[in-house]
């Protein structure tokens, strides 16, 4: 934390110096040093201070700062596109002619240094059109490589309950985790009951990792679903759970906006096992059998007004 605060202080100092340099330059009004020596001294002092501050910040910090800024801009771009895919989904490659100008217009806005991006050479270079495009391409490839990793870990265990959850005694948990990304979900079921209906908890940051090789920050234990949304990891986790627990059906009544498309996809694969509120069979799903689930119509449910 101390190191992070120190690095932030260095960046703040560089931003302030760049603003002082710009103000001093404007005050010169085009005059040479002999016409306005004091104003010129102020300008040279501010310019040197900005140069020193920039040199004190390591390249890795400039890389991190620019990378986070680009990622935030792409998040915003995704909001405008009204897509739930992760901002570095491969389809972004088809829109680079829109993405790069979008990022250029919003460089530094989130952290409040948009007015001096071009006055900080290490940052201006990293947030130039060519480098932005290269960063996006590299990050897309990185996430695809992670998502493509085939290793999935599983653990069957008794539920870890506290005293207020005594009504859930007998519950069993299945944790399924994608090793490369750290994405994971908890599948909860009651083998002592005849209905064998299960529920899914898919908030990775609230689920302990089952990977003995994974080291996580307790304050930031796992990535958000959206970091890998649309790359197929969630589908693999859920299908692996179905393989591990072939007699359990997965209903659920509360889905996140990211889970809805996944549920619909799973329901199309196996409508008896996976319930989806986007299908007309949603209300009758509990009474379906494997045979009737295959026979009943599965049409898109009308949108709620």
Q: Please give the share of the chain, as a percent, with pLDDT higher than 90.
A: 61
Domain residue extents for the chain: 2-147, 152-250, 258-305
Q: How far is CA 69 from CA 65, 99, 112, 122, 286, in A?
A: 6, 13, 11, 14, 46
- The residues pairing with 185 across neighbouring beta strands, listed in sequence order, are 176
For residue 98, the model assigns a pLDDT of 96
Element (H, E) at 125: helix 121-126
pLDDT of residue 165: 76
Averaged over 95-108, what is the pLDDT?
Answer: 96
Q: pLDDT, tens digit, for every residue of 1-56?
A: 434 676 788 889 999 999 999 999 999 888 888 888 998 999 999 999 999 999 99
SS (H, E, C) 22-55: HHHHHHHCCCCCCCCHHHHHHHHHHHHHHHHHHH
Q: How open is the CA angle 80-82-88, to the nearest 5 degrees?
A: 85
Q: Residue 179 has what pLDDT?
A: 95
pTM for this entry? 0.83
Give the confidence band of 221 by pLDDT, cuts at 50, 70, 90. Answer: low
Q: What's the whole-number average pLDDT of the chain? A: 89
How many angstroms separate the CA atoms of 142 and 129, rounded? 20
116-149 per-position pLDDT tens digit: 999 999 999 999 999 999 999 999 999 999 999 9
**CB contact at 8 A, 177 and 211:** yes
Q: What is the pLDDT of residue 176?
A: 97
Q: Quick one: average pLDDT of 151-170?
A: 85
Distance, in Å, from the CA atom of 82 to the CA atom of 77, rounded to the nearest integer, reads 9
- Judged against a pLDDT cut of 70, whether residue 196 lies above it is answered with yes
Cα torsion 173, 178, 181, 185: sign? negative
Write down the pLDDT at residue 1.
41
Residue 170: how many other CB atoms lie within 10 Å: 13
Average pLDDT over residues 62-87: 91
Looking at residues 255-259, what average pLDDT do you find?
A: 72
On the question of pLDDT at 194 being above 80, the answer is: no
Q: Compute the average pLDDT of residues 85-94.
A: 93
The whole-number pLDDT of residue 253 equals 58
Residues 109/76, Cβ–Cβ less than 8 Å: no
CA–CA distance, 265 with 269 (Å, rounded to integer): 7
Quick one: the chain helix, strand, coil %, rounded to 5? 55, 10, 35
């Amino acid at each position: 934390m101390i190191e992070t605060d120190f690095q932030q202080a260095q960046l703040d100092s560089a931003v302030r110096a760049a603003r002082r340099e710009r103000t001093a330059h404007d005050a010169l009004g085009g005059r040479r040093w002999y016409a306005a020596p004091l104003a010129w001294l102020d300008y040279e002092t501010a310019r040197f201070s900005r140069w020193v501050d920039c040199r004190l910040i390591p390249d890795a910090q400039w890389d991190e700062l620019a990378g986070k800024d680009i990622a935030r801009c792409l998040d915003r771009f995704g909001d405008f596109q009204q897509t739930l895919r992760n901002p570095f989904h491969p389809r972004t490659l088809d829109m680079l002619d829109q993405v790069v100008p979008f990022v250029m217009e919003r460089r530094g806005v989130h952290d409040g240094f948009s007015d001096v991006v071009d006055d900080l050479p290490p940052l201006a270079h990293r947030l130039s059109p060519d480098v932005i495009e290269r960063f996006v391409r590299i990050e897309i490839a990185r996430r695809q490589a992670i998502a493509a990793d085939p290793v999935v870990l599983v653990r069957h265990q008794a539920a870890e309950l506290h005293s207020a959850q005594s009504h859930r005694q007998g519950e069993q948990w299945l944790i399924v985790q994608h090793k490369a990304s750290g994405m994971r979900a908890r599948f909860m079921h009651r083998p002592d009951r005849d209905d064998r209906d299960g529920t899914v908890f898919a908030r990775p940051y609230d689920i302990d990792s089952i990977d003995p090789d994974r080291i996580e920050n307790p304050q930031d234990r796992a990535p958000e679903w959206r970091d890998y949304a649309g790359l197929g990891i969630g589908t693999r986790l859920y299908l692996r759970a179905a393989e591990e627990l072939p007699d359990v059906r997965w209903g659920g009544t509360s889905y996140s906006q990211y889970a809805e498309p996944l549920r619909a996809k799973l329901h199309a694969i196996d409508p008896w096992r996976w319930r989806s509120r986007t299908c007309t069979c949603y209300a009758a799903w509990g009474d379906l059998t494997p045979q009737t689930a295959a026979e009943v119509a599965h049409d898109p449910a009308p949108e709620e007004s």
